[in-house]
Amino acid sequence: DTAVSQTPKYLVTQMGNDKSIKCEQNLGHDTMYWYKQDSKKFLKIMFSYNNKELIINETVPNRFSPKSPDKAHLNLHINSLELGDSAVYFCASSHDSHTGELFFGEGSRLTVL
C-alpha cells in the first residue's frame, strides 16, 4: 500500500499546454509538499500545505498553482508550460510542518517539448 502516490509518473507534453500532477498520502499526515528536482538532482521546495492551508510558497511562477482539496491530497497544476519546466516533481508529506522527516512519492517526470 503506497504511502505517498503521485500520478502520472511520466508526462510528455508540448510547450504552452496546461497539465496537472496529482498526489495523495494515506499516512494521516497534516503537511504536504511539492519539490522540483532539476537535471543536476538539485531539490528545491515549491509549496507546502498544512491542513489544506498554504504555509510555504517559494519564488515560483504564477503558472504553478497548488490545490489541496483535503489534507490527504495536494495537486499541482501548471499553465502555459515552458521548456524550463522539464524536471522531476516530487510530492512529500510529513506528520507536521516542523519536522524534517518527509515521506516522498516516486516522482513525476515532466518533459516539455
Partner 1 sequence: GNSVTQMEGPVTLSEEAFLTINCTYTATGYPSLFWYVQYPGEGLQLLLKATKADDKGSNKGFEATYRKETTSFHLEKGSVQVSDSAVYFCALVYNQGGKLIFGQGTELSVKP
Binding site for partner 1 (CB under 8 A): 4, 31, 40-43, 45, 48, 55-56, 90, 92, 97-107
Distance (Å, whole) CA 31 – CA 22: 15
Shortest distance (Å) from residue 107 CB to partner 1: 5
Q: How far is the CB of 6 from partner 1 (least distance, A)?
A: 9
Alpha carbon distance 17, 112 (integer Å): 9
Task: Give the type of residue at 11.
Answer: L
Scan for cell 504536504, then name that residue: 32
Shortest spacing between CB 50 and partner 1, in angstroms: 8
Comparing CB distances to partner 1, the nearer of 70 and 101 is 101
